[in-house]
């Protein structure tokens, strides 16, 4: 493929073009033809080299020579409509360093997705977290392949040129970097291949798209050479070690497919590798320093009583002693490499002792975990906190809960726009007793924090069940190896301490490796796997294999190595000791806290999501959000507004109520009968007052609803501008809202005459006879029915007994009772009295008043027996329309027996109380004569499953409920002596059968 570039002065460029002739892929053009073409048209032919191959079901292309030609190595890798450019450059001259200064910069500019940056300057700012993570992902597999002693500065720059949003460019950038290093003259032991593997419904997928990753329970990034593994990065949802082993072995051959195209491209367009000066230590210097330091170092490493800093100070002292000897001898060459050579001697001693003797620095066995200490809730003033220690490594984790609007906004060209779970890892200098500066984002801190975040993300509850934004802050208090895995342990406990219902605890630890390699073949001859490595074992070992998970499986993995690859079999073998060590740590964590704490403490935040119209939300926000910000400043709460929803996050319940009150005053809420609202009196009329409430709505507070006592002058009770708590009791015929003040205040009980007493008793609904409000002929024929279900009760009379509109007590005739029973559908006249129909259970909420209220209304003095009676007789609890009512029909038989015994005691107690007021009526009675305590001779009209219908004479019917579990033998037509103990809400007498005197 060729492209043409036009130049203004071809005669000046002709000599240069003769030297920069490029080889064409399609046709071979002779030098003479090229020179003649250049001289005629002034055109320059730019050759590009391209390799295409297939990975999975997608075509991947590698191209070089078209752009960034001056870079030491430059490759554009394309996959679909996503293209990534990677360039490599090396510093000139000799290096005086003792380390490899490799810098990897990855950048995603917004032009790649056709977007102008939203920043003030409309430019990309400092590197984002994702860019730092992608840079680490490229750095980790390529760094081990630079030759030992190569200390020249190398810079890798990867840029996303275009993105279709379907493919994550990070894997593409790593493979493009490998190809660019192969094309450059920098010595490097590549190439490498990197692949991403997903798993959906148990099937492994190569190079999954972003949408496929959202459905996958595995996100595996695998990098390798042709025969060894270089890097692993895993995020999973509790995948087992066996399945992960299979995924590793599936990924390796797929990643190797990237290697051959890079070799072919390097053969066509690659540069000759440059001879660089390697900073290597001579054998003479190495032997000399080894002889001076080996025995003292070995003495320190064989003494397990040394701690981290004591061991470090002793090793530093040995180095100073060797330095004094070399200075006395004037050996300048050895002094230059003293630090590095002493470190090499330490490494050799530790590795030899581990492989030959199986003992470690602190005297532990190879599979032994350091002592663990856990403490959850150590900072009670926070939402959640935990302190985790493993050996000398100590981490303090805290949890802060926020509203959905507090989620982190991501400007990445792929992936979700926000992130509701964040883990921020901090490694302050004091944790290793050093002096240092606190700067901006640190690559190491971002990488360790993201690893712990991946590990915990798998056990978080779904967003619908737990809509909070969660932030974990991890502060390393002491570092001696694997602080990122300690963060996982401490973060898991802190989340449970904050009341977040995790599926399971997550723990993690780091596994190390020490190998003995054949120098001639590079094969591993012997190796030892170390569980829970120290910081020095990490530095002097070959592998840092961080594995986190639950008892059920792995949630996150990060593998970093120092040699040029490790056999995959050794890596898979390391999963088993990591699992055993993880279980030991989980045991300690579960002993400290094994379930989410309840959120009823004073520091527990509250969150609520309310539905409103967008117009109402605009009123709440106000101009430029001023009204919303004012409420947040006054209350300290946070409010998030989205399409049709308002989410409020408050520090505690009292703050939540304060915010809701302010929101209700601005935009209101759905009005419900029985709901209590705060309003302001706007005007007073002679018949009542008008009140503004619930965000600008108006209602009428009638004079009859001001107080339980008669009100002669409204202004004596309320005034204009006064704020009141009012209950909505319904609407009038015109749709106006009716409010009640007396419904929100308790009613004072007073002694009154017998008629008043019977009226008050009837309001308590001791029995199940109420009016059918929905009957169309209610006002005309006064037909009523018996109700045994609480759902049948008129909702307008259930709001509060103090204001329910009750009709005066009316004694029904036998015909009216019969019509009422027929309309209720509870049964008709029985043809066979010996097999009565079964009636539904009565409503337990319809019981007589307590003994205290009865004593007050009936004028009976309180005694010791009355106190015992008060424990048996229960008050009526009104149900609100929005309140879930209990299903009494599903109660157990034991509760039915208790209820029967309680009813028996209640009726008997009422009969005893009324003994002093009883009167006997012989012969015909009427409604005016019948009152509480009156004894009559009644005839049994019907025998029901739960009671009797009695004919009291004069066309009046009464009701009697059986007093025990098994009813007595009653026959229709029998005469019994009965006493009137109460009236139900519709005036039907409730009778008690007198024992034979």
- Cα-based distances in Å from 545 to 197, 291, 478, 586, 736: 19, 33, 20, 19, 72
pLDDT at 130: 93
User: Could you give the CA distance from residue 196 to residue 207 in angstroms, rounded to a whole number?
Assistant: 5
Residue 124 DSSP SS3: coil
Q: φ and ψ at 737, to 5 degrees? A: -80, 130
Question: What's the DSSP call for residue 293?
Answer: H
Residue 922 DSSP SS3: coil
Structure tokens at 176: 């493009």
Nearest in space to 984 (alpha carbons), one of 884, 842, 867: 842
pLDDT at 661: 84
Residues 6+ apart with CB under 8 A from 748: 708
Q: 877-903 burial, b for 16+ CB within 10 Å, e for fewer?
A: ebbbeeeeeeebeeeeeeeeeebbeeb
pLDDT at 996: 58
- Cα-based distances in Å from 565 to 141, 174, 223: 9, 16, 10
Give the helix/strand (H/E) hosting 494: helix 483-497
Least confident of 298-302, 467-471, 820-824: 820-824
User: Could you give the CA distance from residue 361 to residue 354 in angstroms, rounded to a whole number?
Assistant: 9
Nearest in space to 962 (alpha carbons), one of 839, 815, 875: 839
| Look-up of token digits 């997705």 | 113
Fold of 606-744: OB fold (Dihydrolipoamide Acetyltransferase, E2P) (2.40.50)
Mean pLDDT of 23-52: 52
* Residues β-bridged to residue 423: 472
| Look-up of token digits 């094969």 | 523
Tell me the pairing of strands 919-920 and 934-943.
Answer: parallel
Please report, in angstroms and rounded to a whole number, the separation of the first and last CA atoms in the chain. 121
pLDDT at 155: 96
148, burial (CB in 10 Å: exposed 0-12, middle 13-18, buried 19+): exposed
Q: φ and ψ at 38, to 5 degrees? A: -65, -40
Task: Tell me the domain boundaries of the chain.
Answer: 49-269, 283-357, 372-592, 606-744, 934-993
| Look-up of token digits 């007093």 | 963
- Cα-based distances in Å from 55 to 50, 168, 841: 16, 15, 71
Least confident of 843-847, 944-948, 949-953: 843-847
pLDDT at 474: 96
User: Could you give the CA distance from residue 248 to residue 573 in angstroms, rounded to a whole number?
Assistant: 12
Per-residue model confidence as pLDDT tens digits over 290-327: 999 989 998 888 888 888 888 888 988 998 999 999 99
Position 201 pLDDT exceeds 70: yes
Q: What is the per-residue DSSP string for 322-391?
A: HHHHHHHHT-HHHHHTHHHHHHHHHHHHHHHHHHHH---TTS--TTPPPPEEEEESSSTTSSEEEEEEET
As a whole-number percent, the residues of the chain with pLDDT over 70 amount to: 75
Nearest in space to 206 (alpha carbons), one of 58, 25, 34: 58
- 216 pLDDT band, cuts 50/70/90, is very high
Structure tokens at 815: 């015909």
Structure tokens at 232: 């692993």
pLDDT at 903: 46
What is the number of other CB atoms lying within 10 angstroms of the CB of residue 744? 16
CATH number of 49-269: 3.30.230.70
Position 786 pLDDT exceeds 60: no
Q: 442 or 198: which carries more pLDDT confidence?
A: 198
Instruction: Output the CA torsion sign for 766, 769, 772, 777.
Output: negative
Nearest in space to 996 (alpha carbons), one of 971, 973, 975, 977: 977
User: Are 375 and 387 contacting, i.e. CB atoms less than 8 angstroms apart?
Assistant: yes
Structure tokens at 848: 């007589």
Position 692 pLDDT exceeds 70: yes
Position 647 pLDDT exceeds 50: yes
Give the helix/strand (H/E) hosting 699: strand 697-702
Residues 6+ apart with CB under 8 A from 817: 949, 957, 988
- 653 pLDDT band, cuts 50/70/90, is confident
Position 825 pLDDT exceeds 90: no
What pTM does this model have?
A: 0.68
Task: Please state the length of the chain.
Answer: 997
Nearest in space to 401 (alpha carbons), one of 606, 657, 639: 606
- 481 pLDDT band, cuts 50/70/90, is confident
The separation between CA 940 and the C-alpha centre of its own chain, rounded to angstroms, equals 65
pLDDT at 9: 36
Q: What is the per-residue DSSP string for 39-66?
A: HHH-EEEEE-EEEEEEETTEEEEEEESS
Mean pLDDT of 724-752: 78
| pLDDT, averaged across the chain | 78
The separation between CA 865 and the C-alpha centre of its own chain, rounded to angstroms, equals 56
- 940 pLDDT band, cuts 50/70/90, is confident
Fold of 372-592: Ribosomal Protein S5; domain 2 (3.30.230)
* Residues β-bridged to residue 421: 470
Least confident of 249-253, 402-406, 540-544, 907-911: 907-911
Residue 168 DSSP SS3: coil
Tell me the pairing of strands 737-740 and 697-702.
Answer: parallel
* Residues β-bridged to residue 254: none
Q: φ and ψ at 870, to 5 degrees? A: -65, -25
* Residues β-bridged to residue 606: 650
Least confident of 178-182, 222-226, 566-570, 771-775: 771-775
Residue 78 DSSP SS3: strand
The separation between CA 657 and the C-alpha centre of its own chain, rounded to angstroms, equals 24
Structure tokens at 995: 């024992």
One-letter-per-residue 3-state SS of 536-565: HHHHHCCEEEEEEECCCCEEEEEEEECCCC
* Helices and strands, number each (H, E), in the chain: 25, 39
Question: What's the DSSP call for residue 392?
Answer: T
Least confident of 140-144, 333-337, 369-373, 473-477: 333-337
Task: Compute the chain's Rg from CA coordinates.
Answer: 43
CATH number of 934-993: 2.40.50.140
Fold of 283-357: Arc Repressor Mutant, subunit A (1.10.10)
Mean pLDDT of 566-591: 95
User: Could you give the CA distance from residue 581 to residue 367 in angstroms, rounded to a whole number?
Assistant: 8
- Cα-based distances in Å from 758 to 507, 730, 751, 856, 929: 69, 27, 12, 13, 13
Half-sphere exposure of 932 (CA within 13 A, CB side): 28
Give the helix/strand (H/E) hosting 528: strand 524-531
Question: What's the DSSP call for residue 148?
Answer: T
Position 964 pLDDT exceeds 60: no
pLDDT at 806: 33
User: Could you give the CA distance from residue 805 to residue 595 in angstroms, rounded to a whole number?
Assistant: 50
User: Are 684 and 710 contacting, i.e. CB atoms less than 8 angstroms apart?
Assistant: no
User: Are 729 and 714 contacting, i.e. CB atoms less than 8 angstroms apart?
Assistant: no
User: Could you give the CA distance from residue 501 to residue 329 in angstroms, rounded to a whole number?
Assistant: 67
Do the domains spanning 49-269 and 283-357 agree at the CATH topology level?
no
One-letter-per-residue 3-state SS of 857-917: HHCCCCCHHHHHHHCCCCCCCCCCCCCCCCCHHHCCHHHHHHHHHHHHHHHHHHHHHHHHH
Structure tokens at 202: 């148990």
């Amino acid at each position: 493929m060729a492209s043409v570039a036009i130049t203004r002065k071809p005669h000046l460029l002709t000599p240069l073009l003769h030297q920069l002739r490029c080889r064409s892929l399609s046709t071979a053009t002779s030098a003479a033809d090229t020179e003649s073409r250049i001289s005629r048209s002034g055109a320059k032919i730019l050759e590009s080299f391209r390799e295409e191959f297939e990975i999975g079901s997608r075509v991947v292309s590698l191209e070089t020579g078209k752009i960034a030609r001056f870079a030491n190595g430059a490759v554009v890798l394309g996959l679909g409509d996503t293209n990534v450019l990677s360039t490599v450059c090396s510093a000139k001259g000799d290096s005086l360093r003792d380390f490899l200064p490799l810098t990897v910069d990855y950048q995603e500019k917004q032009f790649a997705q056709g977007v102008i940056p939203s920043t003030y300057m409309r430019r990309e700012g400092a590197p984002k977290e994702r860019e730092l993570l992608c840079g680490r992902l490229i750095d980790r597999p390529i760094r081990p392949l630079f030759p030992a002693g190569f200390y020249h500065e190398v810079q890798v720059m990867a840029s996303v040129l275009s993105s279709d949003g379907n493919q994550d460019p990070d894997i593409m950038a790593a493979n493009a970097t490998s190809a660019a290093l192969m094309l450059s003259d920098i010595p490097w032991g590549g190439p490498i291949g990197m692949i991403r593997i997903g798993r959906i419904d148990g099937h492994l997928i190569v190079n999954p798209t972003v949408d496929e990753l959202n459905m996958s329970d595995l996100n595996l990034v695998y990098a390798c050479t042709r025969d060894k593994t270089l890097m692993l990065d895993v995020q999973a949802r509790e995948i087992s070690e066996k399945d992960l082993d299979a995924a590793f072995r599936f990924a390796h051959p797929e990643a190797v497919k990237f290697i051959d195209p890079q070799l072919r491209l390097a053969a066509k367009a690659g540069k000759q590798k440059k001879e660089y000066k390697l900073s290597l230590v001579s054998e003479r210097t190495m032997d000399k320093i080894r002889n001076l330091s080996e025995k003292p170092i070995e003495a320190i490493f064989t003494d397990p009583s040394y701690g981290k800093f004591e061991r470090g100070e002793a090793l530093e002292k040995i180095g100073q002693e060797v330095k004094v000897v070399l200075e006395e001898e004037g050996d300048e060459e050895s002094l230059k490499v003293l630090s590095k050579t002493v470190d090499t001697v330490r490494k050799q001693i530790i590795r030899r002792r581990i492989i030959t003797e199986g003992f470690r620095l602190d005297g532990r066995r190879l599979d032994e975990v350091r002592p663990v200490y856990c403490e959850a809730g150590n900072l009670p003033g926070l939402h959640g906190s935990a302190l985790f220690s493993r050996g000398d490594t100590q981490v303090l984790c805290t949890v802060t809960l926020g509203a959905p609007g507090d989620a982190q906004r991501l400007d990445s060209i792929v992936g979700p726009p926000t992130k509701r779970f964040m883990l921020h890892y901090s490694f302050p200098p004091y944790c290793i007793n050093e002096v240092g500066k606190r700067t901006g984002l640190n690559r190491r801190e971002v990488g360790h924090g993201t690893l712990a975040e991946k590990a915990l993300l798998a056990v978080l509850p779904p967003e619908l069940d737990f809509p909070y934004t969660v932030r974990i802050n991890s502060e390393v208090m002491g570092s001696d190896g694997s602080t990122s895995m300690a963060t996982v342990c401490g973060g898991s406990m802190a989340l449970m301490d904050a009341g977040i219902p995790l599926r399971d605890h997550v723990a993690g630890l780091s596994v190390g490796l020490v190998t003995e390699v054949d120098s001639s073949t590079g094969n591993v001859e012997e190796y030892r796997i170390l569980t829970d490595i120290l910081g020095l074992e990490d530095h002097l070992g070959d592998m840092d294999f961080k594995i986190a998970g639950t008892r059920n499986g792995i949630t996150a993995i990060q593998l970093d190595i120092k040699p040029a690859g490790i056999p995959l079999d050794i890596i898979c073998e390391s999963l088993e000791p990591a699992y055993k060590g993880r279980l030991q740590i989980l045991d300690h964590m579960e002993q400290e806290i094994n379930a989410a704490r309840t959120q009823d403490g004073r520091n527990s935040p509250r969150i609520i999501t309310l539905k409103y119209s967008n117009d109402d939300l605009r009123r709440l926000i106000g101009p430029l959000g001023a009204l919303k910000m004012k409420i947040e400043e006054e209350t300290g709460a946070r409010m998030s507004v989205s399409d049709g929803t308002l989410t409020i996050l408050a520090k505690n319940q009292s703050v939540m109520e304060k915010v809701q009150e302010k929101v209700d005053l601005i935009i209101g809420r759905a009005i419900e009968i029985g709901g209590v609202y705060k309003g302001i009196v706007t005007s007073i009329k002679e018949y009542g007052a008008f009140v503004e409430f619930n965000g600008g709505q108006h209602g009428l507070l009638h004079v009859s609803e001001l107080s339980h006592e008669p009100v002669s002058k409204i202004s004596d009770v309320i005034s204009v501008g006064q704020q009141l708590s009012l209950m909505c009791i319904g609407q009038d015929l015109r749709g106006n809202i009716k409010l009640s003040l007396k419904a929100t205040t308790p009613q004072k009980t007073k002694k009154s005459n017998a008629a008043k007493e019977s009226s008050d008793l009837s309001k308590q609904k001791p029995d199940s006879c109420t009016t059918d409000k929905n009957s169309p002929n209610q006002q005309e024929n006064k037909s009523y029915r018996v109700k045994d279900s609480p759902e049948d009760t008129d909702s307008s009379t259930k709001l509060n007994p103090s204001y329910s509109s009750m009709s005066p007590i009316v004694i029904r005739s036998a015909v009216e009772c019969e019509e009422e029973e027929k309309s209720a559908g509870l049964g008709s006249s029985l043809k066979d009295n010996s097999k009565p129909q079964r009636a539904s259970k009565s409503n337990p909420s319809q019981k007589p008043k307590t003994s205290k209220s009865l004593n007050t209304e009936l004028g009976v003095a309180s005694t010791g027996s009355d106190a015992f009676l008060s424990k048996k007789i229960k008050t009526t609890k009104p149900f609100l329309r929005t309140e879930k009512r209990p299903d009494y029909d599903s109660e157990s038989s034991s509760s039915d027996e208790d209820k029967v015994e309680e009813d028996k005691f209640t009726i008997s107690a009422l009969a005893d109380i009324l003994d002093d007021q009883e009167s006997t009526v012989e012969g015909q009675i009427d409604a005016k004569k019948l009152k509480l305590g009156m004894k009559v001779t009644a005839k049994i009209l019907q025998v029901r499953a739960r009671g009797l219908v009695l004919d009291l004479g004069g066309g009046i019917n009464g009701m009697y409920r059986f007093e025990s579990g098994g009813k007595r033998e009653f026959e229709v037509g029998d005469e019994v002596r009965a006493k009137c103990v109460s009236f139900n809400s519709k005036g039907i007498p409730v009778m008690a059968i007198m024992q034979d005197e």
